[in-house]
Chains A and B, each alone.
Chain A
Amino acid sequence: MSLRRRDVVKKLLEKRGGLLVVAGLGSTAWDITAAGDADLNFPTWGAMGQAAMLGLGIALAQPKRRVLVVTGDGEMLMGLGSLATIGVQQPKNLTVVVIDNERYGETGMQATHTAHGVDLAAIAKACGFRNSAMVTTGKDLRKIVHEQPGPNFLQIKVAAEKLPLVLPPHDGVHLKERFRKALSDVLEKKP
């Protein structure tokens, strides 16, 4: 039976501690919000293709904290070069998770390249990600995100389903400021 995206993301974000999370625009932004909106979430509403690079920027700025990018297959396909850039930088604290439903979910469920066999995990591996896998079961995923030295890449195949929207705040200034404030609060507690 196929994995369901909201279950997968919720499981990854349970007991997240100080995990810093970026989501790609569209369905994955709704997924992380459905799991519980948090100040240390930066859900994007645009800038398609930049989720992984936002994650890299955070990971380089905060090398002692774990960073998770949750994005879709369409969003990742628009920023494939960023996998090469991350491969060069080798951030140990970064995991990129692609929730792969093989569809552009926000625009009419058109097939993406992954529906035709494009293997994002193989691309990430070839770009120098330390660990990279395409998975169809939810086993051991938390360990990779929360503990395994990266850069890690997971392409998680999920069912193509249309789900109720769970929208995060959309004011970009608010999203940015709350993230920075929450991060500085965490840093003050644990220098």
Chain B
Amino acid sequence: MQPDWPAEVHRELAAAGVRVVGYVPDAGHKRLIELCHADRKMRAVPLTTEEEGIGLACGAWLGGERAVLLMQSSGVGNLINVLGMVSVCRFPLVMVITMRGEQGEFNPWQVPMGEASARVLETMGVAVRQAGEPQAIAAHVRTALMRAFEGQGAEAVLIAQRVIGIKSFQEQREQ
């Protein structure tokens, strides 16, 4: 049976005391976004672009709260310059990123950024954890939360496209 990874990740975020969840939507994050919106202890904040999430998360930390960001890999490129602030100030940062441009991708324009995402993040000082199976996601998120908030690190969990399912993308192609 497939684990309900969005519910598991939401439980990890709640257990870690995350109060602010910034996101730019992805189909793969649909359910997790809904769970965060429904959680009265969390403030889910839709963003116009991923880099806003860095300001939001760093601001929340300055104000004494914990934030995480949800996005798809295409948004990683939008983060590059502002990740400099995370690095130089050693802000804790946790990003849960669904991959595009991998196995099953129907849109070739998604491929370059998808293929470069992990390298871009690592180049800017973000530790990358690759979740290739749904069973692995919550544990990676738990580790990322601990390393970030206890060790002032920047962490990204990349969720493989095959986990999210390629069917929806095929359906989109047929529409």
CA distance A51 to B55 in the complex (A): 7
Cβ proximity bits B28-72 to A, threshold 8 Å, 1 near / 0 not = 000000000000000101111101111111111111110100000
Stretch at the interface among B84-92, B103-111, B113-121: B84-92
CA distance A55 to B59 in the complex (A): 6
- A52 close to chain B: CB less than 8 A: yes
- Listed in ascending order, the chain B residues whose CB lies under 8 Å from chain A are 19-20, 43, 45-49, 51-65, 67, 81-82, 84-85, 88-91
CA distance A42 to B20 in the complex (A): 20
Q: Are B45 and A48 in contact (CB under 8 A)?
A: no
Known A54-B62, A61-B60, A187-B64; 17 more pairs at CB < 8 Å:
A42-B62, A45-B88, A46-B81, A46-B82, A46-B84, A46-B85, A48-B81, A50-B82, A53-B59, A56-B59, A57-B59, A57-B67, A58-B59, A61-B19, A84-B48, A176-B61, A183-B63
B56 proximity list for chain A (CB < 8 A):
53-54, 56-57, 60, 85
Q: Are B64 and A184 in contact (CB under 8 A)?
A: yes
Tell me how far the C-beta of A50 lies from the nearest C-beta in chain B, rounded to whole angstroms. 3
Q: Which 3 A-B pairs have the closest CB atoms?
A: A57-B59, A53-B55, A61-B63
Q: Are A172 and B90 in contact (CB under 8 A)?
A: yes
A59 proximity list for chain B (CB < 8 A):
59, 63
Q: Are A180 and B52 in contact (CB under 8 A)?
A: no
Q: Assuming the A-B contacts A50-B52, A79-B52, A85-B48, are A58 and B60 also in contact, with contact meaning beta carbons closer than 8 angstroms in the complex?
A: yes
B46 proximity list for chain A (CB < 8 A):
85, 88
Q: Are A60 and B20 in contact (CB under 8 A)?
A: yes
A89 proximity list for chain B (CB < 8 A):
43, 45
Tell me how far the C-beta of A66 lies from the nearest C-beta in chain B, rounded to whole angstroms. 12
Tell me how far the C-beta of B149 lies from the nearest C-beta in chain A, rounded to whole angstroms. 13
Q: Assuming the A-B contacts A173-B90, A176-B90, A176-B91, are A60 and B43 also in contact, with contact meaning beta carbons closer than 8 angstroms in the complex?
A: yes
B60 proximity list for chain A (CB < 8 A):
57-58, 60-61
Q: Are A60 and B54 in contact (CB under 8 A)?
A: no
A57 contact from B51, B55, B81, B84, Cβ within 8 A: B55
Q: Are B55 and A180 in contact (CB under 8 A)?
A: no
B85 contact from A50, A56, A79, Cβ within 8 A: A50
B90 proximity list for chain A (CB < 8 A):
172-173, 176
B64 contact from A52, A62, A82, A88, Cβ within 8 A: A62
A53 proximity list for chain B (CB < 8 A):
52-56, 59
Q: Assuming the A-B contacts A22-B59, A82-B52, A85-B48, are A61 and B64 also in contact, with contact meaning beta carbons closer than 8 angstroms in the complex?
A: yes
CA distance A176 to B92 in the complex (A): 11
Q: Are B49 and A57 in contact (CB under 8 A)?
A: no
Tell me how far the C-beta of B44 lies from the nearest C-beta in chain A, rounded to whole angstroms. 10
Q: Assuming the A-B contacts A85-B48, A85-B52, are A47 and B59 also in contact, with contact meaning beta carbons closer than 8 angstroms in the complex?
A: no
Q: Assuming the A-B contacts A57-B59, A62-B63, A180-B64, are A47 and B54 also in contact, with contact meaning beta carbons closer than 8 angstroms in the complex?
A: yes
Tell me how far the C-beta of A79 lies from the nearest C-beta in chain B, rounded to whole angstroms. 7
* Interface-centre pick from B49, B60, B62, B88 (highest chain A CB count, 10 A): B62
User: 21 A-B residue contacts at CB 8 Å?
Assistant: A46-B81, A46-B84, A46-B85, A46-B88, A50-B51, A53-B53, A54-B56, A55-B59, A56-B59, A57-B20, A57-B59, A60-B59, A61-B19, A61-B65, A62-B64, A79-B52, A84-B48, A88-B45, A180-B64, A184-B64, A187-B64
